Amino acid sequence: MNNEEKNIEVEIKQEKAIKPKRKFNFKKLKYGSLSIIIMVIVVAVVVLVNVIVTVAANSIDMNTDLTHGDFYEISPETIDYISKLTQDVSITIMSDELSLTSQENIYYKQVVEILKKYPMYSDHITTEFVNLTLTPNYINKYDDIYAGEIITGDIVVQSGNRIKVSTFNSLFTTEMNYQTFQQAIAGSNAEQVITSAIMYVTDLDPKHAYIADVPMAESSTATNIQSLLSGNGYDVDLWSPADAIPDDCDLLIVDAPLTDFDEATIKKIYDFMENGGNYGRNMIYLANTNQKDMTNINNYISEWGLSIESGSVIGETDNENILSSLSSFYIKTQITPNDYSANVANMDLPVALYYSAPIDFLFSNMSNVRTYDLLSTAPTSVKITTEMMMSGEQISVADLTKSSYSVMALADKYAFVENEQVKSNLLVVGGSDMFDSSITQASYYNNADYFLSVVNTMTGKSGGINLTTKVNQSITFPMDMNKFTTAQVIFLYVLPIAVLLAGGAVLLIRRHK
């Protein structure tokens, strides 16, 4: 080793001796460990919150429905009903959830959201989606209580041994699309179908209604009445006057027959209502101005102290009581508080009347028959006969007598059996058009609510709910050009610039600390 190499080696040793050893940085370890701990805690909290929210979402409604008419919500009436349930109810839709929510049709998604709402408001309700393609044997569980067929898309509502199976198509109303000439979904009946099924399976004393299956007047409303009753927990079937009235009939409905009943049919109705002196039966008769001579039916009704003035229709002279400027026969009537209106939610809403004949009272109380006026027109209404309308002459309202006319009346026939009063009820309606679907589905009229309140009181059934069809409607917010320009400046310029300035200020403050 020469001298130069020795010198280099010495310099290296000296440099190593001079260079201090790096000390272990406990401060960095302290803050580094703290950062890791904080990150772990934050992640754990986020995971925990996510789990809690996921679990809570199954029992608490955490969504806000901003659609018109609360398209994805169930009504307060349904919530009030199911929150009082004491029986367990299972709701099963025979389709997997993904296949419904992945559809482009917004009404399919609404069905899913509606179904999920029910368990949120009642601990006694469970919902389940079942793919029958993957689990075809699932429906075998219903073999002992249901003899019908259950297919994909059906909704099965069960409580104990009572079961209600509804088709998927029953969840919607449809209308013709005249561009494609195909039926298209126009509204949702999902809540009506599901809630009525729950009412049906939990009803400990179900009522059975039969509607006379006969040719009807031009504006028959039997289909809509059937829908109203079945949607409120009634079993509804048709009755042919050629047959005997079934023994399980609690309510017989005769809706505006086009022709009169023969004497044999009247005898069946008489025997049904008398029930061997035990009474306990109910009947509704709806008249219509398009009917022909109803001598036999009117004679039977007169035995109950009521009479329909055939050949007459009620008009209104006060514009305050006319619901349409196009017709003075489209009249507003107001409900009178009594036992039969006790279940009406909003007594302030009117009942719409359209082309009704007046009802006369032959007596108020005779022997064991009593009559009651349930709904009347205002004292400013008038009676117009068919002859007046057919004469072709101008009708002078000033020449007609103004009076209040009954358009819905009730008669009961009673007896005492073992010191307990039993009675049969006959409800007479002057105009069947007041139960047309266009009127009963209108939320600003009380026709459906009042009808159900009266019928439920007659039959002794509790808890009727009137639910209307829901339609998906978009809401527009009108905005003039000045408002549009102002909103554009705020969202495109003011807010972004404000965010940038705030961020820059925070950065400068941190750098000069």
Q: b/e for 341-374, b at 16 or more Cβ within 10 A?
A: bebbeeeebbbbbbbbbbbeeeeeeeeebbbbbb
Pick 253 or 171 by higher pLDDT: 253
CA angle, 246 as apex, 415 and 240 as ends, to 5°?
Answer: 120
How far is CA 330 from each of CA 57, 319, 433, rounded to the nearest angstrom? 48, 11, 10
CB neighbour class for 274 (10 Å; exposed up to 12, middle 13-18, buried from 19) = middle
Please state, in angstroms and rounded to a whole number, the distance separating the CA atoms of residues 194 and 204. 18
Report how far residue 274's alpha carbon sits from residue 439's, in angstroms, rounded to the nearest whole number.
Answer: 34
Residues forming a β-bridge with 351: 333
58: DSSP letter: T
For residue 326, what are the CA distances in angstroms to 109, 329, 336? 40, 9, 27
- Could you tell me the pLDDT band of residue 178, with boundaries at 50, 70 and 90? low
Collapse the DSSP code of 279 into the 3-class scheme (helix H, G, I; strand E, B; otherwise coil) and give the result.
coil
CB atoms under 10 Å from CB of 378, counted, come to 18
Three-state secondary-structure class, residue 510: helix
Percent of the chain with pLDDT over 90: 42
Predicted confidence (pLDDT) per residue in 115-167, tens digit: 999 999 999 999 999 999 999 999 999 999 888 899 999 999 999 988 989 88
Query: Which is it for the CA torsion 275, 460, 212, 414, positive or negative?
Result: positive
pLDDT (tens digit, 9 = 90+) per residue, 428-471? 999 999 999 888 878 789 998 899 999 999 998 865 565 655 55
Average pLDDT of the segment spanning 371-379? 96
Q: How many CB atoms lie within 10 A of CB 469?
A: 15
Q: Rg of the Cα trace of the chain? A: 36
**Interior angle at CA 269, CA 264 and CA 274, nearest 5:** 125
- Position 66 scores a pLDDT of 42
- 406 neighbors 452 (Cβ within 8 angstroms): no
Residues facing residue 382 across a β-bridge? 315
Query: What is the per-residue pLDDT for 441?
Result: 79
**CA distances from residue 131 to 92, 97, 169, 175, 427 in whole angstroms, order as listed:** 10, 9, 18, 29, 47
Residue bearing the bigger pLDDT, 183 or 300? 300
Query: Looking at 21-25, 32-36, 309-313, 506-510, which range is the least confident one?
Result: 21-25
Q: Which pLDDT does position 299 carry in this prediction?
A: 97
- Distance in angstroms (rounded) separating the CA atoms of residues 480 and 462: 52
Question: Can you give the pLDDT at residue 236?
Answer: 92
Q: Is the pTM of this model over 0.75?
A: no
Q: Tell me the backbone φ, ψ of residue 55, rounded to 5 degrees.
A: -70, -45
Quick check: 194 and 155 in contact, CB under 8 A?
yes
Tell me which of 41-45, 109-113, 329-333 is least confident.
Answer: 41-45
Question: Rounded distance, CA 106 to CA 89, Å?
Answer: 27
Across 45-171, the runs of DSSP E, i.e. the strands, are 89-93, 125-129, 155-159, 162-166
pLDDT value of position 311: 85
Could you read off the pLDDT of 250-302 as tens digits, one per residue?
999 999 999 999 999 999 999 999 999 999 999 999 999 888 889 999 999 99
114 vs 424, residue with greater confidence: 424
Q: Tokens at residue 132, please? A: 């029958």
What pLDDT sits at residue 373?
A: 96
Chain-centroid distance, C-alpha 336: 25
Distance in angstroms (rounded) separating the CA atoms of residues 513 and 504:
15
